[in-house]
Structure 1
Amino acid sequence: METLDDLRKSIDNIDNAIVAMFAERFKVTDRVGYYKAANGLTAKDPAREAIQFQRMSELASQYGVDPEFAASYLAAVIERVVRNHEQIAENT
């Protein structure tokens, strides 16, 4: 039988993986930001965001996660990515 400590260690491992994936995601989105800056594209892309929100909703449903929670996660990530893209554009 698992102990509370065992379960918490599993949660900690998952959290570590999530943060590592965030780091990888932001490395790629920073490259997108440099591409956009070099090509005169805007930081925000509402059409892409709409597609991503739909995709996230479908993934959430597939994995049994509350779609509203998944949308709030994605909104926070997009907000940060747009800010990063705006900073990249200002500095290039």
Structure 2
Amino acid sequence: MTTSHTGAAGPAVRAELDRLRESIDNIDAAVVHMLAERFKCTQQVGHLKAAHRLPPADPGREARQIARLRALAEDARLDPAFAEKFLNFIIGEVIRHHERIAEDAEKSTPAAD
């Protein structure tokens, strides 16, 4: 059965499409909320690192997390390269936040005389 882009699909197809899209929308909402929670935690890590003058990036941990996420992706039948790109994007944002937190902490720390 071929359909045009003008909505010639039957009601059963439209209903199935709507059902699937509703699930996708719910998953997208869950992903956004999970990312928000993740970034709340990484902000706390950034403040802890800044307070103890630790570097914003941790290449060893990042490499371990990438390897871990690639393995999880394979188990979930998700393209590991995609999962790695996604995690690298998140890691980049986290490091940028940690750098900003460290800069703010430096500005608010009185200079030693």
Q: Distance in 2 between matches of 1:16 and 1:48?
A: 28
Greater radius of gyration (CA): 2
The structure where helix makes up a greater share of residues is 1
Give the equivalent residue in structure 2 for 1:43: 56
Aligned length: 92
Could you say what secondary structure the match of 1:3 adopts?
A: helix
TM-score by length of 1: 0.97
Query: After TM superposition, what 4+ stretches of structure 1 lie above 2 angstroms from structure 2?
Result: none
Listed one character per residue, the Cα deviations across residues 21-68 of structure 1 (whole Å, up to 9, x for unaligned) are 000000000000000000110001100001001100110011110000
1:88 partner letter: I
Question: What percent of counterpart residues are identical?
Answer: 51
Q: Distance in 1 between matches of 2:20 and 2:67?
A: 32
1:34 to 32, 47, 69: 47
Could you tell me how far 1:3 is from its partner in structure 2?
Answer: 1.4
Structure 1: gaps of 5 or more residues: none
Structure-to-structure mapping, 1:64-79, within 5 angstroms:
64-79=77-92
Structure 2: gaps of 5 or more residues: 1-11, 106-113
Could you say what secondary structure the match of 1:64 adopts?
A: coil
Give the equivalent residue in structure 1 for 2:24: 11
Q: Distance in 2 between matches of 1:91 and 1:74?
A: 26
TM-score by length of 2: 0.79
If asked which structure has higher relative contact order (CA below 8 Å, sep 6+), I would say 1
